[in-house]
Amino acid sequence: MKAVVVEQYAPVDQIQLKDVPAPRLEPGQLRIRVEAAGIGFVDGLKVEGRYQTKDPLPFIPGTEFAGVVAEAPGRPGGYQPGMRVMGMTRSGALAEEIVVDPEAVYALPDGVTAEVAASFRANYLTALYALSARATLAAGEQLLVLGAAGGTGIAAVQIGKLLGARVIAAASTPEKREFARGQGADAVIDYTQADWRDTLKELAHGHGADVIFDPVGGEISVQAFRSIAWRGRHLVVGFAAGAIPALPFNLPLLKGGALLGVDLAQIPLREPDMQKRLISQLTGWLADGQLKPVVGHVFALEDFREAFRTMQTRSALGKMVVRIAP
């Protein structure tokens, strides 16, 4: 089968598409013919060996996928050949086939394309877990989304609206701000401007942000916390800007604010029942059309490097997807 193979941690330009043996199927596992795989910020870090945990070399990158069950001896988990599924695993998705435990996949609702499914689980589960389980975002509260045009950012915009919040989307270019507005943001703001906090104060009617969804990091995070409402909640989702901010501890004291960490990898380990409930809620929204995940750009498998480059330059709108099966 064809697969992207990381033999040494390196920039994506040095990673190759190769012919490799199909993965071995162990008892109780499923073989999936992969139709599409999502590319996220974490995938780029893993390829370069810069993520907080390293995959043993060599490895096939890619954590999110959608496809069709090819083999299911004994029908583990009730799955059988021909069923369409979406899933998430530690690695291995950028390949024509992947072998996973049945717990890693969910049945794909009718009418949902593989591209949509492959861009769905990580971003939208992160957003819903952050906003609902961690920040307990309530209807009518003001939600500030930093990096609102990225994969997790646009998911937070959409989920925030479904939860009844007033969403203020912060992004760095006019195109990104209009993109966020088109996905439901009530107001938009350019956080590259020196006076952006004044603009935020006006947009929030002097109240401040009740919840801040922050996948960006850097100095912008500290500035955003300075504009948090009394008893506001600041969600630490990631550091796309590259710098981990240092927050002066007097700010939470003065604002009565809380800093809340959000790590998707910890949810199945520490809160498996919570994950099942949230996935059920998400797939319900997906099935009835309330939630329409945003697919950024779709690349052919041979063009996987361009998918990574587009994601890493932060010029992307939504999530990058690699189409693997025709």
The boundaries of the domain holding residue 29 are: 2-120+293-323
| Residues 45 and 157 reside in one and the same domain | no
Q: How far is the C-alpha of 21 from the C-alpha of 219, rounded, in Å? A: 46
Give CA separation, 100 vs 31, 109, 117, 145, 292, in Å.
7, 20, 17, 34, 26
Q: Each residue of 24-47: b (16+ CB within 10 Å) or e?
A: eeeeebbbbbbbbbbbbbbbbbbb
Task: Read off the pLDDT of each residue in 117-125 and give the average, rounded to a whole number.
Answer: 91
- CATH number for the domain that contains residue 113: 3.90.180.10
Cβ atoms of 35 and 70 closer than 8 Å: no
| Residues 116 and 149 reside in one and the same domain | no
So what's the pLDDT on residue 118?
93
Q: Find the helix packing angle between 151-162 and 174-182, rounded to 10°.
A: 30
pLDDT digits (tens, 9 = 90+) for 71-98: 999 999 999 999 999 999 999 999 999 9
- CATH number for the domain that contains residue 242: 3.40.50.720
Q: Tokens 């045009």 correspond to what residue?
A: 149
Task: Read off the pLDDT of each residue in 250-259 and give the average, rounded to a whole number.
Answer: 93
So what's the pLDDT on residue 30?
97
The closest of 217, 201, 218 to 209, measured between CA atoms, is 201
| Residues 250 and 192 reside in one and the same domain | yes
| Residues 128 and 114 reside in one and the same domain | no
Cβ atoms of 9 and 301 closer than 8 Å: no
Looking at the structure of the chain, the number of domains it has is 2
pLDDT tops 90 at residue 147: yes
Q: Select from 266, 285, 303 the last residue of a domain.
A: 266
Q: Which of 1-5, 108-112, 292-296 has the highest mean predicted lDDT (pLDDT)?
A: 1-5
pLDDT tops 70 at residue 314: no
Q: Does residue 241 fall inside a structural domain? A: yes
**Total Cβ atoms within 10 A of residue 115:** 21
SS3 123: helix
The chain-wide mean pLDDT, for the chain, equals 93
